[in-house]
Structure 1
């Protein structure tokens, strides 16, 4: 099956899933829909559309937006980005000085 443009692959999801709140054992409700939620956020961010244009398959746009905002304020996205960049491969990193 072809990868969906706005959705994480299995490998990408495996890398970030352990970093997200809502796992079994975390306080509060567990978030069985974390992957759907992240894919919905990616849809908005990658498409450039307004939150209100979020397709219904990702949930109610207001709910997704509120959760996105909560995760921003809680530093969840920063932790994910920090973890993903910590093991980056700089072998081909170049700076164009032109």
Structure 2
């Protein structure tokens, strides 16, 4: 018997915690409500696996819809609200740290090889702007 990937990924207790934040972040736009628990499961699946959004299993819904909802929640500050509540509740041990890769920056010299990013961009543009075919004026040396 095959079990669903999307079923029961987060417990009812966990969902009860997240649900209040999700409902508070919802914009009243008159649209039909989606299955927010399934969307949250899909987002957590992406976070756990590190897979690209397009590889999200169909059981979570259309990847683009899940990503759009993730983006809306991000812009609404949902994740910061959840982290603040977790920090204030003491439910998460203080020794547990989270690193969000979206705020990690490399030094500008780490951007590439000798010559830096400018030279690499120039080289890419040079290749991209090369003619894709030859004109008849370029064949002057041939009969």
Report the count of equivalent residues: 89
Aligned pairs for 1:19-58 within 5 A: 19-21=21-23, 27-28=28-29, 29=31, 31-58=33-60
| TM, length-normalised to structure 2 | 0.53
Any conservation in 2 of the 1:54–1:61 contact (CA below 8 Å)?
Answer: yes
Q: Distance in 2 between matches of 1:93 and 1:81?
A: 12
| 1:32 Cα offset (Å) | 4.3
Determine which structure has greater relative contact order: mean sequence separation of CA pairs < 8 Å that are 6+ residues apart, divided by chain length. Answer: 1
Distance 1:89 1:38, change over 3 A: closer
Structure 2: unaligned runs, 5 residues or longer = 1-5, 96-143
Aligned to 2:86: 84
Larger Rg: 2
Distance 2:89 2:43 in 1: 24
Distance change >3 Å, CA 34–CA 82, structure 1 → 2: same
Deviation readout 1:34-88 (Å, 9 max, x if unpaired) = 1000000000001111110101011110111111111111111111221122111
- 1:89–1:75 distance in 2 versus 1, CA, 3 Å: closer
Contact 1:41–1:68, Cα closer than 8 Å, also in 2: yes
> Which residue of 18, 21, 25 corresponds with 2:20?
18
